[in-house]
Structure 1
Amino acid sequence: MTVKRNRKIGSFKEELLVKSREAMLSAVQIFNNPNIHFKSENFIILANISWMYLLHAHYRDKKIEYRYFRQTGQRKKFDKTKKGAFKYWELERCLDDKDCPIDNITKANLKFLIGLRHEIEHQMTTKIDEYLSARFQACCLNYNDFIKQLFGDSYGIDKHLSFSLQFSTIKEEHANQLRKFTDLPSNIASYINDFDNELTDQDYNNIRYSYRVLYVPKAVNRKGQADKVIEFIPANSPEAEGLNKEYVLVKEREKKKHLPGEIYDFMQANGYPKFTAYQHTLLWKEKDAKNPLLGYGTQVAKTWYWYDNWLNEVQEYCQKSGDLYK
């Protein structure tokens, strides 16, 4: 009897893994398909299902109960749907379990996607593919690592994937556009900013959270040399360190933001007590500083935030005003 039950558990685990891999492969194929314009939404939903099935397979393999139930004395009363099916853990519950094998940075990446799914499931979104591709890439790489760690190298999906070809080059002006959240729906921009601000710089820059790649056109010394479209170099190599220094401004993270009150509070604390909210309002109106083309700040939901370059502008203005605000 025990042997029969174990065989049933094993076969169902295999079925979960098959579905898990198919869901992730489908997510990647859809995202790389140039004829599909609903990429991010599809990727998030399918990646969520993929990771959930992967963790269900792990908990089943470890004989850990992953169905919702209530303990009544010595018995478990399982929660069921209206049609009588068991209610299994959703991905977030799988991640929060004390026996979850996933590290905290990978969890942060997945919880970001879960929260984003909640934001986009109630309304149509546009133009989010470019902003979030680094986090999707990290999600894929993390998945491939963990399915092999938990169930063996033969379950890896890297052998089924290749780099997608591009029909345009990535120029600096494109990178500048990608750093701005002005054309995102306000709820999405607010969610991304709030989630990222909760992370430490170390966690934010971890490749398990967001996998960023710097593309540099490459010339070879002579014909016949190996010519890969993409070549990876170690992050701690002199070449990589040099590139990071040169392109430190081309970062995906949104700039540091200040509420209006923080601007004039800062000026008052640094020797300009007469520079108040009124003077600040007059100044930004005079300079048309909320014009998005000037890059002094951004609107998130219903709140305007100022960037560091506006704070510097205000400082310079006060210094040139002599004793007017002292």
Structure 2
Amino acid sequence: MKARSQELVDKSIAAMISAIEVYNKPDFKYREETFSILAINAWELLLKAKWLKDNNNKVRSLYVTEKRLRPNGKPYKHAKVKMTGSGNPFTHSLDYLAKRMAEKKTLADAAHKNIIALCEIRDSSVHFYNKSGLFAVRLQEVGSASVRNYAKAAKSWFSVDFSQHNFYLMPLAFVKNHQPSEVILLTKEEKNVASFISSLEAANDPKADYAVSVNVELKFLKSKADDAIKVQVTNDPSAPKLQLTEEHLKDKYPLNHKALSTACAARYCDFKQNQKYHDLLKPLKADKRYCHVKKLDPDNPKSVKQEWYSQAIFNVLDKHYTVKG
């Protein structure tokens, strides 16, 4: 008979595989929303399995308790398990478990922040709606990192072997055709979520096993392998279109130097564009979490370069300046 924790692991894996299979369908109208819902479900079951394992498979460790009063108004000596409307025990939420496990260093900080970002996308999808193709790109960056983090955690905690599964998200270019004009159609709500995700990306460490988000790149290389995917370049307007663009970088790195300085002046009461400011920016320019360096002419190696900064840079600057009250 399987332990409860292992039963939860099996259910969790089934949920994540379902999320990936739905996402990778070539024509699915509720792709990002469905993936985020199922992926969150997979993470919650995995964390509950780990929690049970660390608590000797005592299912009560997952129950939410509350203090209750006796009929005479005096409190019971021991807290009681909180019940749902159907009379079943309430179990701890994903937010609670992720926070507690991150505090105990059981769950990596980057993986925790990735879950927070994925939950924000899920909440935005469930409670309202998203319509921008650019927002779909941000979901893929967070979702791809989440799948990788999930596989790493499941293997580390339960020795799960994912070699029999295609455990990855297909590049957007293969599953969905986006129009270039979509880069300007972010709603206010979508901008808020995208900005929130950018702020979490400060926890990204290129050398770490876990990540808040990842950049998904698609490259075509010549190959003599028999099973290599064949691609033909054509000007046939009826041929399927594959769009490779850096437009989504404008969302991830929205601030040029002038805009960043203006934002700092509005954000901090003791900000000055002095040597201290330039010294702080210098090492951040080489960090992809905070800065993307773009050549004005990509084909010219001597082209003038321009730095574009992400919202995550404020997580660093906040430590050196006083935020206005």
Superposed displacement of residue 55, structure 1:
0.8
Quick check: 71-80 or 121-130, which moved more? 71-80
Q: How many Å apart are 1:142 and its aligned residue?
A: 0.8
Deviates more, 1:45-54 or 1:247-256: 247-256
Q: Does 1:66 align with 2:62?
A: yes
**CA deviation profile, 1:300-325 (whole Å, cap 9, x unmatched):** xxxxxxx989xxxxxxxxxxxxxxxx
Task: Show the counterpart of 1:76.
Answer: 79
Return the TM-score normalized by structure 2. 0.60
Task: State the match for 1:183 in structure 2.
Answer: 185
When residues 175 and 139 of structure 1 are mapped into structure 2, their CA distance, relative to the original with a 3 A threshold, is farther
Preserved CA contact (<8 Å) 2:201 2:213: no
Superposition pairs of residues 50-61 of structure 1, within 5 angstroms: 50-61=42-53
Question: Which residue of structure 2 aligns with residue 102 of structure 1?
Answer: 107
Task: Confirm or deny that 1:145 pairs with 2:152.
Answer: yes
Structure 2 unaligned blocks of 5 or more: 68-74, 231-244, 267-271, 274-305, 309-325
Paired amino acid for 1:160: H
Q: Deviations over 1:16-51 (max 9, x none)?
A: 111100000000000001231101111111011101
CA RMSD of aligned residues (A): 4.0
Q: Distance in 2 between matches of 1:200 and 1:162?
A: 26
Partner of 1:319: none
- For the residue of structure 2 that corresponds to 1:60, the secondary structure is helix
> Percent of aligned pairs with the same residue?
17
Which residue of 2 is the match for residue 324 of structure 1? Answer: none
Match of 1:196 among 198, 216, 221: 198
User: AA paired with 2:23?
Assistant: F
Q: How many residues align?
A: 237
Distance in 1 between residues matched to 2:140 and 2:123, nearest whole Å: 18
Q: What displacement does 1:107 show? A: 0.8
Question: C-alpha displacement at 1:196, in angstroms?
Answer: 1.2
Amino acid at match of 2:185: D
Counterpart of 1:124 in 2: which secondary structure? Answer: coil
Distance 2:206 2:89 in 1: 37
Task: Report the secondary structure of 1:75's partner residue.
Answer: coil
Partner Cα distance (1:48, 1:165) in 2: 19
Quote the offset at 1:85 in angstroms.
0.9
Report the Cα offset of residue 101 of structure 1: 1.8
Aligned partners of 1:21 and 1:157 also within 8 Å = no
The reply to whether residue 256 of structure 1 matches residue 255 of structure 2 is yes
Q: CA deviation at 1:198?
A: 5.0
Deviation at 1:259, TM superposition (A): 7.1
Structure 2 CA distance, aligned partners of 1:83 and 1:169?
Answer: 44
Give the aligned partner of residue 136 of structure 2. Answer: 129
Q: CA deviation at 1:202?
A: 4.8
Amino acid at match of 2:106: P
1:141-290 alignment runs, 5 A limit: 141-152=148-159, 155-161=160-166, 180=183, 182-197=184-199, 199-200=201-202, 202-203=204-205, 208-220=211-223, 223=224, 225=225, 228=228, 251=249, 253-256=252-255, 262=262
Q: Distance in 1 between matches of 2:116 and 2:229?
A: 32
In 1, Cα distance between equivalents of 2:261 and 2:31: 39
1:274-302 deviations in whole A, cap 9, x for unaligned? xxxxxxxxxxxxxxxxxxxxxxxxxxxxx
Q: Could you tell me how far 1:11 is from its partner in structure 2? A: 2.9
- The structure that has the greater radius of gyration is 1
Structure 2: which amino acid aligns with 1:195? Answer: I
Q: Distance in 2 between matches of 1:151 and 1:184?
A: 40
Question: Do structure 1's residue 13 and structure 2's residue 36 form an aligned pair?
Answer: no
Higher RCO structure, 1 or 2 (CA under 8 Å, sep 6+): 2
Write 1 or 2 for the structure with the bigger share of helix. 1
Flag structure 1 segments of 5+ consecutive residues without an equivalent.
Answer: 1-6, 231-246, 271-306, 310-326
SS at match of 2:39: helix
Q: CA-to-partner distance for each residue in 1:120-144, whole Å, 9 max, x for gaps?
A: 2222322332332121111111111
2:238 counterpart residue number: none
2-structure distance, mates of 1:150, 1:254? 35
Q: Are the equivalent residues in 1 in contact too, given 2:121–2:139 (CA < 8 A)?
A: no
Q: CA deviation at 1:176?
A: 7.2
Question: Cα 1:58–1:100, aligned 2, differ >3 Å: closer, same or farther?
Answer: farther
In 2, Cα distance between equivalents of 1:48 and 1:199: 19
Find the aligned partners of 1:200 and 1:138 in 2 and give their Cα distance: 14
